[in-house]
Amino acid sequence: MIDATVLVIDDDDDILLSARLFLKQHFDQVVTCKSPKEINVLLSKNEVDIILLDMNYQKGASDGREGLYWLEHILSIDKDYVVILMTAYGNVELAVQAIKKGATDFILKPWENEKLFATLSSASRLRQSNKKVKKLEKIHSSLQKDINRQFENIVGSSEPIRQLQHTLIKVAPTDANVLILGENGTGKQVFAYELHRLSNRRNQIFMHVDLGSLNENLFESELFGYAKGAFTDAKDDKPGRFEMAEGGTIFLDEIGNLSLPLQAKLLSILQNRTVTRLGESKERKINVRLITATNMPLNEMVAKGTFRQDLLFRINTVELELPGLARRGEDILLLAGHFLSSFGTKYHKGLLKLDAKAEDTLLKYHWPGNVRELQHVIERAVIMADGHEISHADLQLSPQKFGNSSPVQIDIPLEEMEKLMVQKAIDKHKGNISRAAADLGLTRAALYRRIEKFDL
């Protein structure tokens, strides 16, 4: 049985009956109608794969003009429709004209069942190919922002970064599942993309999925897709992110945010290497490389029973732990220079540099928001700068943002310093989480996680 829907349009009831009886033995669904004027309605109600279209409808007509007209009409709706024209009047010139106008094939009535089946089978394969191309076009469109986003190569020469780069070179060419650990803003997405870029899947899709921003009710439909009619707004079939990433890499960010029921569903997908769309029972095989990331302590969560140990085993064949920016001090000015060049070009400011006091300020700051915070600080400074030199004032890092007016105490443990900064920001803004998060260069969700982590 071929998984396709065939629409047969002919004004002869006997032809329609004959087509229906024969084709329903071989195709998933067969729809018939007597008038091409019903085409718009039928195409809007059914996901049609192949259209078998008669060329003559008016009594006594044999020139095929009606068929050519409706062929053009169908292809104006969707150029990827597969249309096979049929007529009782053999005419080579007419067949050539039909093919030129976009028909896939041309058959004569009465047909031989074997020939009709062979023609439609070939048409079905063509339709599937067209759908795959269309799917890739949709993926390209939906991922355009991601694709156009400038993924920066890893910048840094500190010892922690050199060790990570060494590990990347070993791990990237394999299909091993990788778990990337690190605080918010440390560059987990950049490292995930580098793994993809250095892999054998580099020419395929890199699919980034932020699980932290996914509503739990949308988890299955977004990741696994859905069939038409699966729920109220499901007007068309839609592939999920795993299907879209076929042959490439899927990066599940913030995996620590998944509830236990969703963890179980994800584990099933990873074990079976298949997905089932909502509203369907058919399993679809997937071939993707999995990379996950979180800033949450998964091992502690396993001990507390809030994260499945079997899922952790599944996703962390290799673990990469990214250091906070405070632990890679020698990279701060390298990164700042990198961002200056990038934003100088973006905002048409030309070549920019930091003055001595600005460099000193960057080196003394503790960077609770890590590389992402540095990126935002430099972008803002580039926008605010009047000349080609970035000053201390352009950075807008006030003494309060250092915890006090003096340089950061290096003998304070980093985690204790972070706790202190979070508490100060919350106190400063009288419990307003949005303002405190903005002051720290964090998202609300990231700040809530730190509040929970430090039991504030």
pLDDT, position 427: 80
State if pTM tops 0.85: no
Residue with tokens 């669904």: 29
Task: Tally DSSP H helices, then E strands, for the chain.
Answer: 20, 16
Other Cβ atoms less than 10 A from the Cβ of 156: the count is 21
Per-position pLDDT tens, the chain of length 456: 888 899 999 988 899 999 999 999 999 899 999 988 999 888 888 888 899 998 888 776 777 788 888 999 998 888 888 999 887 776 667 778 888 888 888 888 888 888 889 989 888 888 888 777 766 666 655 554 444 444 347 888 899 999 999 999 999 999 999 999 999 999 999 999 999 999 999 989 999 999 988 877 788 888 998 888 888 888 888 889 999 999 999 999 999 999 999 999 999 999 999 999 988 888 899 999 999 999 999 999 999 999 999 999 999 999 999 999 999 999 999 999 999 999 999 888 888 999 999 999 999 999 999 999 999 999 999 998 888 899 988 998 855 455 443 334 444 566 676 787 788 888 877 778 877 877 777 777 778 878 888 778
Using CA atoms, how far residue 276 sits from 138, 244, 255, in Å, is 20, 14, 21
Q: State the angle between helix axes of 414-428 and 433-440 in degrees (0 to 180), rounded to the nearest 10.
A: 130
Taking phi first (over 0 means left), then psi (-120 to 50 degrees means alpha), and beta for anything else, what does residue 440 get? Answer: alpha
Quick one: three-class SS letters along 385-453?
CCCCEECHHHHCCCHHHHCCCCCCCCCCCHHHHHHHHHHHHHHHCCCCHHHHHHHHCCCHHHHHHHHHH
- Any idea of the CA torsion for 398, 403, 405, 407, to the nearest 10 degrees? -100
Q: Which residues pair with 191 in a beta bridge?
A: none
- pLDDT at position 410 is 42
Q: How confident is the model at residue 295, as a pLDDT?
A: 94
Residue 319's DSSP bridge partners are 179
State the pLDDT at residue 416: 72
C-alpha span between 39 and 33 (Å, rounded)? 9
- Residue 214 three-state SS: coil
Cα separation, 142 vs 91, whole angstroms: 45
Helical ranges in 102-171 per DSSP H: 113-142, 144-148, 159-171
Please tell me the distance from the alpha carbon of residue 243 to that of residue 250, in angstroms, as a whole number: 10
Burial class (CB in 10 A: 0-12, 13-18, 19+), 12: middle
Please name the helix (run of DSSP H) or strand (run of DSSP E) that holds residue 7, with its range, or none.
strand 2-9
Contact 377, 397 (CB under 8 A): yes
Structure tokens at 325: 């920016």
The reported pLDDT for the residue numbered 33 is 92
* pLDDT at site 439: 74
Bridging pattern class, strands 82-87 and 50-54: parallel
pLDDT of residue 315: 96
Q: Token digits for 74? A: 């169908």
pLDDT at 252: 96
